[in-house]
Chain A
Amino acid sequence: MYPPSIIILFIHLKFQKEYNVDMKSNNKLVKESLYLIKITCIWALFTLFAFLLNSFGWQESTIILTYVLGSIIWTILKIPYRYGLLLTFANVLSFNYFFTVPYYTFRVDDFQYLYTFISMFIVSGFVSYVVFISNRNRHIAHIRSLNNRYLFQLSELLYQSLDFKEGLTDAISLLERTLHAEVEVHVFDNTQQVFELIDTLEPINKANALDSYMTLKPQSFTNQDKIINFFPILINKEVRGFIFVSGVKLSVDAIEWMSTIGSILALAKQRIESIRLEEEAKLNYEQEQLRVSLLSSISHDLRTPLASIIGSSTLLMDELIERENDLILVRNIHRDAKWLLDSVENILSLIRLNKSNLNNQFQVVLIEEVIEEALKHFNQEDLSRLTIEYKHGSQFVNVEVHLMIKALYNLIHNALKFSTKEVSINTYIIEPWCCIEVRDRGIGFSKSVKDYLVEGFQSTKPIDAKYRQGVGLGLHIVSKIIDVHQGLLNFMPNQTQGTVVSIKLPIYKEDV
């Protein structure tokens, strides 16, 4: 014969299985009758056991203890409390009927038995109540730990999948297995798509979805005898999707749990979005680098043939000094080659501006050294029209020298291009700025043009035919260069005629 505990465990497992089926069918009548069957079985088992002990001639007190045990045992079988009390009552009656004198009657001759019945009832009722409470708490703890495990599994699932949709499918099947309910999850890239989804719902569902959308809170309601729960998925404080659970009524705990799942889904969505953005940015960066290095090597390669064209045409100009027509042709070649060279240099400056390590290229230099270097690019004829004045002596500035030379070159070149008279360059200090001013008495600029000057691809025809009209990159590059140096660029009309362009650069201070 099996020891009683093993039998009880067997019954427990069997019923547990039945109980799970019952959860699915959700039929109340079946559930109730199952409880009845359970307590009947326990009652029958313990009554038989009591008869067995009685047949050994054991004392009455042993029988009483057996029934008390029978009245407590139900607590481990997840039977509602009322059925537990019913079982205790049945046990007391059985003891009275089978084991007290007169046997096989409910009559009580001895008053002492009455006291025993009441005590039995109270003891088993009280003990089973305590065990029941502790069981219930254990059950809640168990459910919570299960919930946590599911949450953990879910976040693991979503974390491991790089494709959000794939992760979502796994998550939905996990939820359906856990909740024994139909689950649908929709997560979108923007709120517009959320509205499109809401529009497709039935009227009652739609109203509740809208409520949930507005309040950012879950909604539970019944539609055609079916319990439906809506959980909003919040990304950046706006609803970007829903979890629909239909077919079960969810406890307060479960609703909280589902809200947590909503947050996990939102996080996963955000994470995958940011991974995608990161990859896109990386790809863009690589493409940009490739483009820049291609452009840079082309521009460098152009320098050598241009050096040859410019040099050869210079030689030819000396040779052809007597033959005017040929001289004009060669001059044009020379001028155009120089123009091309300027454009190449502009492109190289733009590439330099976009270099990621631009700040490492900065050097502390005297501003007059930079101006001197910029002037090296002009020929004697141009230089004869330039006057330079350093009002407040030497000033240190922290600059990318190539770029600053280019900026000054472009400004001075423009000034020479758009005037036939003298061009003056002045430097002076207005703390904390080192100012460089290029002043010409040329054609000036109209107010309407001022705003477009630095935008790029705006150009004006030079007044001297020896200069070619540019593509309008010059000033655009100047303004960008001044920007990366945290400086200021300003255009003003010259008092009498022409333009004053001023650059303000922060003066370099050692303690900064």
Chain B
Amino acid sequence: MSKVLIIEDDLSLQHYVSTLLKNNGYDVCVAANLANAHSLFYTQSPDVILLDLTLGDEKGEEFLRKNRELTESSIIIVSAIDDFSKKVHLLDEGADDYITKPFNPGELLARIRVGMRKKTSSDPAKQCYRYHDFFIDYEKELVKMNNNEVHLTPLEYQIIRYLTLHHGRVCTTNAILKAIWGVYYTQADAQNLRVFMANLRKKIEPNPTRPSYILTHVGVGYRFID
């Protein structure tokens, strides 16, 4: 059974999340402080970790910094702080996702599912990726919607390739720029990226005003849905 470690000091929220996850068939363990969290992390080796940033006097970031290199587990930050720069910082530091309190139960479950897949997907060199009507073939550099080929510019292809390779995860604007434009990207490139995204949507999304494949996390980055 998939295991989730909940690190949260608010007992009622802890109880609610663990009930929600248990009802959905997850094995759950909970920790209210960093010491407990560390011991559970080593003994239980969870697949997904839900990490609160403010644990009384302790800081959740500590956990992320100490254990990021040690584990393949997905670390999802759950916090009441909705500061963009903080989000971007933590995602760049290696957090897999960031959810702001209060959250929608459906959204939390979806993010956990993505986190689980990261752990189980053993083949990093994927050949292709399919989601509903969307299909991408990395070898042939081909993108299809409803079995019709979509014509993309090379840069648009690079972007969609990067997003689908990390599908389900929020890719920060910085990460995308670094991957595609290289280390020396400028502020103008960041704006260009937004325009490319808008064009990409027009080509892929059935209804660009209600995107169902490429989701924006304004101020943070983009996520290819999972």
Contacts and interface: CB of A to CB of B under 8 A. Distances in A.
Nearest to A302: B80
B124 interface: no
B23 A315 contact: yes
Most-contacted residue by chain A among B12, B84, B209 (CB, 10 A): B209
B219 A365 contact: yes
Interface string B202-216: 000000111100011
Contacts of B218: 365, 369-370, 372-373, 401, 405
Given A312-B16, A369-B194, A401-B219, A304 B105 contact: no
A365 B81 CA distance: 21
B82 A305 contact: no
A364 interface: yes
Contacts of A138: none
Interface residues of A, number: 34
Contacts of A308: 10, 12-13, 15-16
Interface in A356-386: 363-366, 368-370, 372-373, 379
Interface string B1-43: 0000000001011011101100100000000000000000000
Interface stretch (A12-20, A185-193, A390-398): A390-398
B103 interface: yes
B13 A305 contact: yes
Nearest to A366: B194
Contacts of B126: none
B219 A303 contact: no
A389 B105 CA distance: 29
A315 B105 CA distance: 8
B204 to A, nearest CB: 15
A297 to B, nearest CB: 10
B209 A312 contact: no
A252 B209 CA distance: 84
A311 B20 contact: yes
A305 B10 CA distance: 8
B120 to A, nearest CB: 27
Nearest to A312: B16
Nearest to B9: A304
B102 interface: yes
**Contact count band on B:** 20 to 34
B195 interface: yes
A372 B211 contact: yes
B81 A311 contact: no
Contacts, number: 85
Most-contacted residue by chain B among A303, A307, A388 (CB, 10 A): A307
A300 B211 CA distance: 30
Most-contacted residue by chain B among A301, A305, A312 (CB, 10 A): A312
Contacts of A468: none
A372 B102 contact: no
A314 interface: yes
A300 B80 contact: yes
Contacts of B216: 369, 372-373
B67 interface: no
B105 A307 contact: no
A106 B215 CA distance: 129
A307 B219 contact: no
A366 B194 CA distance: 7
Contacts of B208: 390
Given A315-B19, A363-B219, A401-B219, A306 B194 contact: no
Nearest to A311: B16
Nearest to B195: A394
Interface in B173-226: 188, 191, 194-195, 198, 208-211, 215-219
B102 A394 contact: no
B101 interface: yes
Interface in B59-94: 80-82, 84
Contacts of A305: 10, 12-13
Nearest to A313: B16
Interface of B: 10, 12-13, 15-17, 19-20, 23, 80-82, 84, 101-105, 188, 191, 194-195, 198, 208-211, 215-219
Q: What are the 6 closest A-B residue pairs judged by CB atoms, nearest first?
A: A307-B102, A303-B80, A308-B13, A388-B209, A307-B101, A373-B218
20 contacts: A300-B80, A303-B80, A304-B101, A305-B10, A306-B102, A308-B13, A311-B17, A312-B12, A312-B19, A315-B105, A341-B102, A364-B191, A365-B219, A370-B218, A373-B217, A379-B104, A388-B210, A389-B209, A390-B208, A394-B195
Given A300-B81, A388-B210, 15 more contacts: A305-B13, A306-B102, A307-B103, A311-B16, A311-B103, A311-B105, A312-B19, A315-B23, A315-B105, A365-B219, A368-B209, A373-B216, A373-B218, A389-B209, A394-B198
